[in-house]
Amino acid sequence: MTALSTLFPVFFMIGLGALARIKGWVTPEQKEGANYIIFNILFPIMIFNVLFTTQIELSVIWIILYVFIVFVLGMVIGKWISPLTGKRFAHISPYLLTTCEGGNVALPLYTSIVGLSYASNTVIFDIAGTLIAFVVMPIMVAKASAGKTSMRQLLKTIFTNSFVTAVILALILNMMGCYEYLSHTALFDIYTNTVNQATGPIVGMILFIIGYNLKIKKETLPILLKLLCVRVIVFALIIVGFFVLFPQLMAEKVYMIAVLIYFMCPTGFAVPMIISPLNQTQEDGDFQSLLSHSI
């Protein structure tokens, strides 16, 4: 019942998005407008807040580094085997073999089992996922979509990207101790309430858009199944890596559960939106939506 209470709202919003497309309640242009607001405004605010407010202890740096490296390797493997999984989606499939949806799937499932006091176990993994999704991917997407532009123009494209700007600014202010200072001022409640108001609709809107784009086509199912199999294998190996590199942590049942739940979750819900500039056809978006909640 706990799992159902966590997952039902996810599938409800996805179903609502699909129904809105079928019934014509929302036009493609309106959907793209909502997509633009989320991707260019609300998401950068959320990423800024996550990195601005996070306290990263030295003891977890190795875990973050490991997760970051294996997420990068997931993309490399995806690129390497793209001829096997299908050339049709080779330009986007590697991005779908990395990151996990922690905040809206792993975290609620995990805390429902072990309690809120252990929530930081999965949040630590999300730091690496955030860096991959909102720094590495935007840079790669900017480079891929820039074509034969000059290095100067490419760098301008990368560093004017709203995600990259949000990450750089948040890390600088974090290291300067600005959040600690802000928390002791009268502006803290204003900041917190504004961020909560701005980021609150993000998850629901993302799931709605995923559902809106969801179109199951028989010819894409073989490619989808191949990618799902590859993803399961890759993330099973990541879990094995935790047993090898962090045996003391994995000996603790509560921590082991965090690893098992987190790394068996679907691709981060934001990934399809982040890589959307690479879409060549509407089928690319449909395929991403289908894969992003298939595991």
Which position has the higher pLDDT, 13 or 71? Answer: 71
* Residue 197 CB coordination number (10 Å): 9
Q: Is the pLDDT of residue 109 over 60?
A: yes
CB 260 within 8 A of CB 239: yes
The 10s digit of each residue's pLDDT in 249-273 is 999 999 999 999 999 988 887 788 7
Read off the pLDDT of each residue in 22-49 and give the average, rounded to a whole number: 86
Q: Is the pLDDT of residue 176 over 50?
A: yes
Residue with structure tokens 């809107």?
A: 205
The 10s digit of each residue's pLDDT in 198-236 is 988 887 887 888 788 777 677 777 777 888 888 999 999
C-alpha to C-alpha distance for 97 and 292, rounded to whole angstroms: 10
- Nearest Cα neighbor of 276 from 132, 101, 96 is 96
Here the tokens at position 137 are 């991917």
Q: pLDDT category, 295, cuts 50, 70, 90? A: very low
Average pLDDT, the chain: 83
Query: Given this model, what pLDDT does residue 147 score?
Result: 63
The residue length of the chain stands at 295
Query: Given this model, what pLDDT does residue 93 score?
Result: 85
Read off the pLDDT of each residue in 151-173 and give the average, rounded to a whole number: 77
Query: Given this model, what pLDDT does residue 1 score?
Result: 58
Q: pTM here?
A: 0.74
Here the CATH number for the domain that contains residue 251 is 1.20.1530.20
C-alpha to C-alpha distance for 74 and 66, rounded to whole angstroms: 12
Q: pLDDT category, 184, cuts 50, 70, 90? A: very high
Read off the pLDDT of each residue in 82-98 and give the average, rounded to a whole number: 80
Query: Given this model, what pLDDT does residue 85 score?
Result: 64
In the chain, what's the furthest Cα-to-Cα distance? 58
Query: Given this model, what pLDDT does residue 239 score?
Result: 97
Read off the pLDDT of each residue in 16-24 and give the average, rounded to a whole number: 92
Query: Given this model, what pLDDT does residue 3 score?
Result: 63
Q: What percent of the chain has pLDDT over 70?
A: 88
Among 143-147, 150-154, 243-247, 275-279, top mean pLDDT goes to 243-247
Domain that holds residue 27: 2-292
Q: How many domains does the chain have?
A: 1
